[in-house]
Amino acid sequence: MSTTSTGTAKPRSTTSASATILAAGLLAGYAADSILADPQRGHPVALFGQAARRLEKACYADSRTRGALYAAVCVGGSAALGHVVDRSIGRRRGLALAATATAAWTVIGASSLRREADAIGDLLESGDLAGARERLPRLVGRDPRGLSESAVARAVIESVAENTSDAVVAPLFWGAVAGTPGLLAYRAANTLDAMVGHRNERYQNFGWASARLDDVLNLAPARLTGLLTVAAAPTVGGLRQQTWQVLRHDARSHPSPNSGHCEASAAGALGLRLGGTNVYGSRVEERPQLGNGRSPRGFDIGRANKLSKAVGTSAAVLLSAGALLGRRGLRHG
């Protein structure tokens, strides 16, 4: 049988260049986030949120079908935008690299996450518990009133652990799988989950599709985050075997199908005990205990950030390599 390429197959050099550009763009975007962080005004994700909120007002109904159509328009439109950008650039490699890096920088939120966590940690370490409580809603949705130092630290560490997947590993994962459309579509889905994925009276039905889509898109990234946390445990004085045991034993007890993998592995690596009572306005949730260490303190937030950075950097390198090898492998296959 002839192995001559068909007229629709991409030349090997083009496929190789595309894979290299994607891998380099993901790394460059991650580096840009580390150096530049997020813009204070006019962030594209914030602009998307504003547009999604206007669309919600126009099409809202207490209906799963209407909510599914809303999610499809927002996420599908974001993926289509990424595809249009890729098609318009074509084979101009410099522009393609810049576009991929810009998209990655836009959707990765590692620096902003760690900056907010550090600010609260600094307040706790200086003894300003009231200031830490006041700043906490910028990072988590729970009610900060009356929280102790340990409870504030726990809230921050749990948020850092969860968002290491949501804001770093997951966008890199979907960027490696689907390029610029994957980067933009994932961030759109994750943003919709934050906007309408709540289990309250208004969004119980309308937000159902957005919440389930976010769960599905985070299945693989959350588990990868847990495994990378096991590998990175020694960077914060943790033991890989202990972290693995906590991950295996406690992750499934969390009500989220994904967050438990991130939080349990972080608890094991940091030698802490996470979980407990969370208050969200009038709603109270009892979360299962994750890990069997001591209660968190303010200084543990810096350790959690260090762990998050190690996991995020490992993910950027691993997934960029995966994008490079995977696309070349598809070509050879």
- Predicted confidence (pLDDT) per residue in 63-98, tens digit: 999 999 999 999 999 999 999 999 999 888 999 999
Residue 65 falls inside a structural domain: yes
Q: How many domains does the chain have?
A: 1
Which range of residues forms the domain containing residue 279?
Answer: 13-325
Residue 5 falls inside a structural domain: no
Whether residue 6 has pLDDT greater than 50: no
Q: Which residues pair with 290 in a beta bridge?
A: 274
Tell me the pTM: 0.91
101-152 pLDDT per residue, tens:
999 999 999 999 999 999 999 999 999 999 999 999 999 988 999 999 999 9
Higher local confidence (pLDDT), 285 or 236? 236
What would the two tokens of residue 242 be? Answer: 């202990």
Residue 4 falls inside a structural domain: no
> What percent of the chain lies above the pLDDT cut of 90?
80
Confidence of residue 36 (pLDDT cuts 50, 70, 90): confident
> What is the structure's pLDDT at 279?
86
Residue 208 falls inside a structural domain: yes
**How many angstroms separate the CA atoms of 322 and 87, rounded?**
23
Residue 332 falls inside a structural domain: no
Q: Which phi and psi angles does 283 have, rounded to 5°? A: -100, 130
How does the average pLDDT of the chain come out, rounded? 92
* Residue tagged 């919440």 (tokens): 211
Confidence of residue 10 (pLDDT cuts 50, 70, 90): low
Residue 82 falls inside a structural domain: yes
What would the two tokens of residue 142 be? Answer: 């729970």
Mean pLDDT across 268-295: 91
Within 10-125, where are the H helices? 12-36, 44-59, 64-89, 93-107, 110-125
Higher local confidence (pLDDT), 38 or 212? 212
Residue 213 falls inside a structural domain: yes
